[in-house]
Amino acid sequence: MTAPLTALSKVKPNDPCWCGSGLKFKRCHKPTTDRVGAGTLTPRRPVPDSIASPPWAATGQGSNRGESDVKSADVIDRMRRTGRLAGDVLAQVGAAVAPGVTTDELDALCHQITLDAGAYPSPLNYNGYKKSLCTSVNEVICHGIPDSRALRDGDIVNLDVTCFREGVNGDTNATFFVGSVDPESQRLVRVTRECLELAIAQVRPGQPINVIGRAIQDHAEGSGLGVVRSFIGHGIGETFHTDLAIPHYFDPRAVKKLVPGMVFTIEPMITVGDWRHRLWDDDWTASTVDNKRTAQFEHTLLVTDGGCDILTLRADGHWSGDGAPIPG
């Protein structure tokens, strides 16, 4: 169910809720100041020896960042297949999002679907990360760790999926609604998706990297929203994160030109309020300093002679989040 895009400030606490429940707004979808808290973690999920694993699966250390920005034809072919898998895994896990489902249950599903496809869940043990999925709820910007917290009606949750198969990684994420979501959050998610669409439209040979960030920043700030600066897109391939940096804001220093064969992620994080973050004691979870909501979408892109290819579309040619087809 979707709500009308009317300003929440126009709805009074004792008015009927916009969602049609028959309850008063204050008893239903009135935003609260409740913060997302850490729940209980389950043990690390095992991976069979039959699954080809990346180096960090054993060492717990991040991947070597020295990989070339421009990929060979063989690497690109493998990344197309693995990227498509990541898109399909994200869609399947996203379909399980519902009130009452715990983020740990989503992690278990992501883990099993990935293994069943003969792939390794890239986040698992990457720099010691304990889970196979990142689940970032409401004010959590990124790297939320799945735990015993149950999703609540009105939440939004970002699911960040990365798969390692055939020696390469595919990285994608989307923000999903949990039940009926307030109009402000709906607008946040819509604008965030639009930011990614506009950024993708800038990707073509000869363009400096900073046109990507300009497109995102112009649209987000023009919509009265903020752009997170502390976390950026990155090069990806046989390693999870390479040295190639893709800022989501305009950085005059990011003048490196895009060339065919480059592969990287674009993953804007957009906020309702302050774009700055605070890091939880777990050294992973980053949330907004004002505890206002944030959303994110991500794709892995390949620069081609005529523009770019999105490597993490689902097999049906769509992308995850609301089921709408990718433009163009």
Residue by residue, DSSP assigns 99-129 as: TT-BHHHHHHHHHHHHHHTT-EETTTTGGG-
Question: Is there a domain that residue 274 lies in?
Answer: yes
**pLDDT tens by residue, the chain, 328 residues:** 122 223 334 556 667 765 666 666 544 555 544 788 788 899 999 999 999 999 999 999 987 778 999 999 999 999 999 999 999 999 999 999 999 999 999 999 999 999 999 999 999 999 999 999 999 999 999 999 999 999 999 999 999 999 999 999 999 999 999 999 999 999 999 999 999 999 999 999 999 999 999 999 999 999 999 999 999 999 999 999 999 999 999 999 999 999 999 999 999 999 999 999 999 999 999 999 999 999 999 999 999 999 999 999 988 877 766 433 333 3
Q: Are 48 and 57 in contact (CB under 8 A)?
A: no
Q: Are 230 and 244 in contact (CB under 8 A)?
A: no
The domain of 159 spans 67-310
Q: Using CA atoms, how far apart are residues 255 and 243, in angstroms rounded to an integer?
A: 15
For residue 322, the number of C-alpha atoms closer than 13 Å in the C-beta half-sphere is 14
Q: Using CA atoms, how far apart are residues 167 and 183, in angstroms rounded to an integer?
A: 42
Count how many domains the chain has. 1
Question: Is there a domain that residue 103 lies in?
Answer: yes
Nearest partner of 47 among 101, 103, 126, 102, judged by Cα: 126
Question: Is there a domain that residue 6 lies in?
Answer: no
Q: Are 260 and 304 in contact (CB under 8 A)?
A: yes
Question: Is there a domain that residue 203 lies in?
Answer: yes
3-state secondary structure of 242: coil
β-pair partners for 300: 265
Q: Using CA atoms, how far apart are residues 288 and 294, in angstroms rounded to an integer?
A: 8
CATH classification of the domain holding 182: 3.90.230.10
**DSSP letter (8 states) at residue 97:** -
Q: Using CA atoms, how far apart are residues 178 and 211, in angstroms rounded to an integer?
A: 33
Q: Using CA atoms, how far apart are residues 42 and 277, in angstroms rounded to an integer?
A: 26
Question: Is there a domain that residue 279 lies in?
Answer: yes
Token pair for 202: 């800038």
Question: Is there a domain that residue 321 lies in?
Answer: no
β-pair partners for 296: 269
